[in-house]
Amino acid sequence: MSWLNVVRIIQKLKQRDMKKSQFLPLTLALLILATASCKKTTPELKEVFKNDFLIGTAMNSYQVHGRDPLAKPFIIKNFNSITAENEMKWERIHPAPGVYSFAKADSIAEFAQKNNLVLIGHVLVWHSQTPDWVFRDSVGNTLSRDALLARMKDHIFTVVGHFKGKVKGWDVVNEAIDDNGAMRKSLWYQIIGEDYIQKAFEYAHEADPDAELYYNDYNNEQKVKRDGVIPIIKSLQQNGARIDAVGIQGHWHLDEPDLNELDESLSAYAALGVKIVITEMEVNVLPTPPEVYGADIQQQAKYLEELNPYKNGCPDSVQTQLANRYSDLFTIFMKHKKDITRVTFWGIHDGYSWKNGWPIVGRTNYPLLFDRNYQPKPAFWSVIKTAKGE
């Protein structure tokens, strides 16, 4: 209820010549109601950043099929871009040779189209969530370079072709660089060689010349990995491939990445003439074994009680740390806003975060801006303040 309405009602009550004993409590109730509803107005994330960058979220099929009735309206209210969290990955969309399964990804695409959300395609070529058959022939032998290139081309043409005009941009290659900055020795690399990246970008561009194309990785805001990613971007550019942006996944922690390093990396990527997209952001608040400080989903760590300390709720002190961390990160994003075109969160609220199950299954994490009841956390308010320069 707005203040204007309250004033109007009070004026009408006065005109009615009401007894003082009735008039006063009624007025008081109206004032309380108006104050409460004013206080509850939560800004919409996408609106707050509308002059800066797109604000996206990962979405899953559970949400798109309405099993959680709150999810869709919440997404429409807060975000202007979505990425399918899993539904466009090879194992889901192309589970067996010659078998393409588009139904779930199509529902997400339809939801995006209906609600004017920018749809991002994730992901075409990756070492994870890609079935083993992709690399083998019908009797189980490893494919030749040419045969694997042909398979990659078929996949990219079919998938990108299917979503032509619906997907604004694709994560073409994901995680091609190892944590030490060298090429990851994935089966793509081993069988095809280093130019599998170039080929993937060429096929994607051929399949949809209007789609933006991204190289995506985790920890690539760290210098050691950045030094491996920059030559890939340069080589794509020199060889005439389309590359619009570098995706920094942003699977971060309370104490990582180093903020100066992030700042430097954003400048270094922008200097190449590409845009930057933060593609999968969240900030883990749980203690994590150092060997899984990245986001290679093939790594796992053992469950230990001491690594799951906030089962019954996130302490205020941790909420504050998280809020400060988000504020620091968004301060850097705002500094580089002319080069950043999108910031996508990897989940709509804490309950949906993959960080409850990875790298350790069965923990309770609190890495996003909204809690399990869709309520804004202190981190949300600190992000809003940062956007306003407060």
Whether the CB-CB separation of 234 and 191 falls below 8 Å is answered with no
Out of 202, 280, 350, 371, name the contact with ligand XIL by CB under 6 A: 280
Structure tokens at 119: 């749809």
The DSSP bridge partners found for residue 83 are 58, 120
Whether the CB-CB separation of 228 and 182 falls below 8 Å is answered with yes
- Does the active-site annotation cover 175? yes
The helix/strand count (H/E) of the chain reads as: 14, 9
3-state secondary structure 89-151: CHHHHCCECCECCCHHHHHHHHHHHHCCCEEEEEEEECCCCCCHHHHECCCCCECCHHHHHHH
Q: Is 217 in the site for ligand XIL (CB under 6 A)?
A: no
Closer by beta carbon to ligand XIL, 83 or else 382: 83
Whether the CB-CB separation of 164 and 209 falls below 8 Å is answered with no
Closer by beta carbon to ligand XIL, 280 or else 382: 280
Q: Is 354 in the site for ligand XIL (CB under 6 A)?
A: yes
From the candidates 87, 175, 256, 282, give the one annotated as an active-site residue: 175
Closer by beta carbon to ligand XIL, 280 or else 350: 280
Q: Is 278 in the site for ligand XIL (CB under 6 A)?
A: no
Q: Is 295 in the site for ligand XIL (CB under 6 A)?
A: yes
Whole-number Å distance between alpha carbons of 388 and 179: 36
Whole-number Å distance between alpha carbons of 366 and 40: 22
Could you tell me the smallest distance in angstroms from the CB atom of residue 36 to ligand XIL? 37
Closest residue to ligand XIL using C-beta atoms: 354
Out of 13, 76, 297, 301, name the contact with ligand XIL by CB under 6 A: 297
Strand, helix or coil at 274?
A: coil
CA angle in degrees (0–180, nearest 5) for 60-65-70: 80
Q: Is 188 in the site for ligand XIL (CB under 6 A)?
A: no
> φ and ψ at 217, to 5 degrees?
-155, 165
Out of 63, 81, 86, 321, name the contact with ligand XIL by CB under 6 A: 86
Whether the CB-CB separation of 145 and 192 falls below 8 Å is answered with yes
Out of 80, 130, 174, 288, name the contact with ligand XIL by CB under 6 A: 174
Q: Is 80 in the site for ligand XIL (CB under 6 A)?
A: no
Size of the site for ligand XIL (CB under 6 A): 8
Could you tell me the smallest distance in angstroms from the CB atom of residue 297 to ligand XIL? 5
Residue 64 burial (C-beta neighbours within 10 Å; 0-12, 13-18, 19+): buried
Closer by beta carbon to ligand XIL, 160 or else 323: 160
Could you tell me the smallest distance in angstroms from the CB atom of residue 88 to ligand XIL? 10
Closer by beta carbon to ligand XIL, 92 or else 337: 92
Closer by beta carbon to ligand XIL, 281 or else 384: 281
The DSSP bridge partners found for residue 174 are 216
Q: Is 365 in the site for ligand XIL (CB under 6 A)?
A: no
From residue 222 to residue 251, what is the string marking binding to ligand XIL with x (rule CB under 6 A)? ---------------------------x--
Stretch 47-66 residues interacting with ligand XIL (CB under 6 A): none
CA angle in degrees (0–180, nearest 5) for 373-58-377: 35
Binding site for ligand XIL (CB under 6 A): 85-86, 174, 249, 280, 295, 297, 354
* Active site positions, annotated: 175, 280
